[in-house]
Amino acid sequence: MIIFHHLNNSRSQRVLWMLEELGLPYEIKRYERLPSMMAPPELKQVHPLGKAPVIEDEGRVIAESGAIVEYLVAKSGGRLGPPDDIDGALRYRTFLHYAEGSLMPPLLLKLVLSKIPIMGRIAMKRIQPMIDVHLDFVESALKQRQWFAGDELSAADIMMSFPLEAARARAGLDRSRPKTIAWLTKIQSRPAYKRALKKGGPYDYG
């Protein structure tokens, strides 16, 4: 059975959602953020980075959301994996990595700057236009198809969920980008997503 190490209000919520979508048996071990919003030191006993998500399975300890997601796709025989066509598979791989590689960094930078009085607020004015470029790119992608890779939910959508939920909460994603908002509504209405919310504990973005 998979042991899933989950930190509240973090990227690991989407891995919990994926486990529920796939119906894989797992045991959840929950960790709560410290008042500083850092992860508790207990997570370093699981993995040297001391972060979540982390899964343990068949003697393996796997960190990093993207690596975990790809491992779960393989473990479930390709479910939630890429479409069969070449273009769909390329979109799948693009958005699977775009979520953390391109979209998440400016969102995280804006969060950090929001904690810095005066100078942080000035710097944030330069960050928001960068974020808007990404949000426009996402909106244009969802104008072309229901899901990021193709006609069905895939692991690419699961990876994209956290940065877009964060953008909805704190980085200007609103109904001026209706396709993205409709996509968020759609994923958050899925039964597996709702089950994951109940099991995961506090999550400010769902």
The Cα 134–Cα 104 span in angstroms is 10
Render pLDDT for 129-149 as a digit per residue (tens, 0 to 9).
999 999 999 999 999 999 999
CB-based contacts of 6, cutoff 8 Å, min separation 6: 12, 13, 15, 16, 28, 29, 30, 31, 52, 53, 200, 201
The Cα 7–Cα 114 span in angstroms is 22
The first and second tokens of residue 72, run together, are: 């779960």
- pLDDT attached to residue 158: 98
pTM given for the model = 0.94
**DSSP output for 119-179:** HHHHHHHHHHHHHHHHHHHHHHHHHH-SSSSSSS--HHHHHHHHHHHHHHHHS---TTSHH
Render pLDDT for 89-129 as a digit per residue (tens, 0 to 9).
999 999 999 999 999 999 988 887 777 776 666 767 788 99
- pLDDT attached to residue 110: 84
- pLDDT attached to residue 18: 98
Residue ranges of the chain whose pLDDT lies below 70: 118-121, 123, 206
In the chain, CATH 1.20.1050.10 sits at 86-190
Provide the CATH topology of domain 2-80+192-200.
Glutaredoxin (3.40.30)
Query: Are 106 and 127 in contact, with CB atoms under 8 Å apart?
Result: yes
- pLDDT attached to residue 187: 98
In the chain, CATH 3.40.30.10 sits at 2-80+192-200
- pLDDT attached to residue 14: 97
* Residue 33 Cα distances to 16, 38, 97, angstroms: 17, 6, 26
CATH entry, 86-190, from 1.20.1050.10, 3.40.50.300, 3.40.50.720, 3.20.20.70: 1.20.1050.10
- pLDDT attached to residue 113: 74
- pLDDT attached to residue 46: 95
CB-based contacts of 80, cutoff 8 Å, min separation 6: 18, 21, 22, 72, 73, 153, 154, 155, 158
